[in-house]
């Protein structure tokens, strides 16, 4: 069983802001330690069908001839999911190093 450190129900504007702030803070730390975190988007429609999508948002940035990844790629998608009206729940799974996003129709 995976260990969930943060689990947010996105019911109002304040809970969405809090989720974004907390998960961004986690990502800042996790990008420096170990494998890259990823997003798992779970979508359930009104017919009971469930699908999922995995992604690691990376765009390499060149600085002085060296390539780096940036938190801005993660921040963009985190902000998008926290603001999306169909996202009902978002959580950080520390064992899998994954942000799980639950979307419903």
Distance CA 53, CA 102 (A): 11
What are the pLDDT digits (tens) for 6-58? 899 999 999 999 999 999 999 988 888 888 899 999 999 999 999 999 999 88
DSSP label of 2: P
Confidence band for 71, pLDDT divided at 50, 70 and 90: confident
Contact 1, 93 (CB under 8 A): no
Token pair 């429609």: residue: 45
Q: How much is the pLDDT for 3?
A: 65
Instruction: Please tell me the pTM assigned to this model.
Output: 0.84
- With a cut of 70, say whether residue 4 has pLDDT above it: no
């Amino acid at each position: 069983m995976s260990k969930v450190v943060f689990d947010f129900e996105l019911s109002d504007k304040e809970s969405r802001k809090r989720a974004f702030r907390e998960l961004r803070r986690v990502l800042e730390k996790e990008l420096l330690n170990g494998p890259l975190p990823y997003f798992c988007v779970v979508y359930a429609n009104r017919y009971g069908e469930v699908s999922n999508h995995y992604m690691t948002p990376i765009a390499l940035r060149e600085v002085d001839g060296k390539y780096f990844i940036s938190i801005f790629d993660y921040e963009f998608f985190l902000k998008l999911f926290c603001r999306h009206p169909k996202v009902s729940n978002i959580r950080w799974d520390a064992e899998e190093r994954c942000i799980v996003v639950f979307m419903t129709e």
